[in-house]
Amino acid sequence: MRHVKYALCINKACGLQVEPKPDITLCPKCGEVLDITYDYEYLKSTITREQIEASTDNSFWRYKPFLPVEETSEAPALRVGWSPLYEKHGILGLDTLYIKDDGQNPTGSLKDRPSALCVVKAKEAGRTSVACASTGNAASSLAGSAAAAGLSAYIFVPERAPKGKLAQLLVFGANVVSVQGDYQAAFRLSDMAIQKWGWYSRNAAINPYLMEGKKTVALEICEQLNWQAPDWVAVSVGDGCSIAGVWKGFYDFYQMGFIDKLPRLLSVQAAGCYPVHKAFRAGTEEIVPMSEDTLADSIAVGVPRNGLKSLRALEASNGLAVEVSDEEILAAMCELGRSTGVFGEPAGVTGFAGLKKAVEQGLIRKDEKVVTIITGNGLKDTANALKAAGEPISSPPDMDRLLVEFEKRGVKPE
């Protein structure tokens, strides 16, 4: 990897530079997370915007020169990334809003990006099995990418894992272990099994390559906006890996001179679980664990594992943080669906919900150019969607009764 310099420890007091082997995890000296660091001068001499634009690869692998993989490594045959960016006018009172629909990834979430990168690194490390502990999109995306790459997947889920998410895992042929206990118990057992059998770990807490997969959503936004960075990007935050990845993507292309400014980040967490925002407002890098009281399960993270990286991204971008209630999330799901035809899961529309609040509070002006990322597909969680959207009109198969029912609901057929 001529274009990668090293993996840098993000603990400023340590700053160790680690050789970027495919199976590195945490800083061997201080235990903090690592950040993949590129040689931008070298990259500038090898790749141009025009070369990227000429790519016929309609997946995130069109940005392979900016990813920490060997040139000879092949991408699995599963189309990840290059999701649509819709331009909308007047929504939420904004002159121009762009909707990046990452729910259109193969397993239905932005997590397909880091998972696809993960299986490539696993192969580079010579492993035939990948593993993680998760109930949600990290697990289903890993199972999908592993199936496409011909690797075995071992997924540890807490026993209360929702049936719909289990279904995805089982269909993709993962070895699914339902651990009798909570998420922490599943995590501990996965960790011991990973040590014992030497599986490749897909764990955003320790694997520095995952964020590099997530950054591709920002690289795409730059190209799709014809290399004009937006003023704001609104992102929902759980562990903090996504927002940090978004920042890294814009940072890469800014360093390359592909864009001439960096956007500000709007971080959105649930009002029932916002440990990153608490630390951000207190101006500290110490994140205090919080309870996980929100129906947006994909961002119900009381102990964020990439909290420090997300705080750094927020600070560096002169960002803002807002929280939204579950009611606001559900209302936003319907508002987004009805104004754009895009269906997001609760965590998937949380960025949009926070953006609505930020515009109403005058934190973002109506003439500013804003992108919001829809991070997960609404079909992942139909129970909450039905809670948001209400009941259908019930009618016997009779035209007269249909008219009565329409009248009751105020429907005026045109």
Ligand X SMILES: *Cc1c(COP(=O)(O)O)cnc(C)c1O
Partner from Zn ion, ligand X, none contacting 68, C-beta within 5 to 8 A by type: none
Partner from ligand X, Zn ion, none contacting 109, C-beta within 5 to 8 A by type: ligand X
The interface with Zn ion within residues 26-55 (CB under 5 A) comprises 27, 29-30, 32
Question: Which residue bears the tokens 């909290």?
Answer: 307
Question: Which residue bears the tokens 């592993």?
Answer: 146
For ligand X, give the closer residue by CB, 263 or 376. 376
Query: Own/partner pairs for 39-46, CB < 8 Å, 24+ apart?
Result: 39/2, 39/3, 39/4, 39/5, 40/252, 40/255, 40/256, 42/2, 42/3, 43/3, 43/256, 44/256, 44/257, 46/3
Sheet-wide strand order for 85-88: 85-88, 97-101, 370-374, 232-236, 264-270, 320-324
Binding part of the chain for Zn ion, among 2-10, 37-45, 110-118, 319-327 by CB under 5 A, reads 2-10
Partner from ligand X, Zn ion, none contacting 111, C-beta within 5 to 8 A by type: ligand X
- Under the binding rule (CB under 5 A), the answer on residue 14 touching Zn ion is yes
340 C-beta neighbours (distance < 10 Å), count: 17
Partner from Zn ion, ligand X, none contacting 376, C-beta within 5 to 8 A by type: ligand X
DSSP state of 289: P
Q: Give the amino acid at 173.
A: G
State residue 306 phi and psi, 5-degree precision. -125, 35
Q: Cα(358)–Cα(320) distance, rounded to whole angstroms?
A: 9
For Zn ion, give the closer residue by CB, 26 or 189. 26
Q: Cα(34)–Cα(126) distance, rounded to whole angstroms?
A: 21
Out of 16, 334, 363, 402, the residue judged to bind Zn ion by CB under 5 A: 16
Three-state secondary-structure class, residue 165:
helix
In angstroms, give the least distance from the CB of 372 to ligand X: 12
DSSP secondary structure, 5-38, as one string: EEEEES-TTT--EE---TT--S-TTT---EEEEE
Partner from ligand X, Zn ion, none contacting 299, C-beta within 5 to 8 A by type: ligand X
HEC per residue, 230-286 = CCEEEEECCCCHHHHHHHHHHHHHHHCCCCCCCCEEEEEEECCECHHHHHHHHCCCC
In angstroms, give the least distance from the CB of 210 to ligand X: 9
Partner from Zn ion, ligand X, none contacting 242, C-beta within 5 to 8 A by type: ligand X
- Under the binding rule (CB under 5 A), the answer on residue 171 touching Zn ion is no
351 C-beta neighbours (distance < 10 Å), count: 30
For Zn ion, give the closer residue by CB, 30 or 192. 30
Partner from ligand X, Zn ion, none contacting 348, C-beta within 5 to 8 A by type: ligand X
In angstroms, give the least distance from the CB of 211 to ligand X: 8
For ligand X, give the closer residue by CB, 121 or 380. 380
In angstroms, give the least distance from the CB of 36 to ligand X: 16
Name 36's bridge partners.
7
Query: What are the residues binding ligand X (CB under 6 A)?
Result: 109, 111, 136-137, 236-242, 298-299, 301, 345, 347-348, 375-376
In angstroms, give the least distance from the CB of 208 to Zn ion: 12
Three-state secondary-structure class, residue 413:
coil
In angstroms, give the least distance from the CB of 78 to Zn ion: 34
Partner from Zn ion, ligand X, none contacting 239, C-beta within 5 to 8 A by type: ligand X
Partner from ligand X, Zn ion, none contacting 308, C-beta within 5 to 8 A by type: none
In angstroms, give the least distance from the CB of 71 to ligand X: 28
In angstroms, give the least distance from the CB of 30 to Zn ion: 3
In angstroms, give the least distance from the CB of 32 to Zn ion: 5
In 327-368, the DSSP E strands lie at: none
Q: Applying CB under 5 A, what is the total number of residues that bind Zn ion?
A: 8
Binding site for Zn ion (CB under 5 A): 9, 11, 14, 16, 27, 29-30, 32
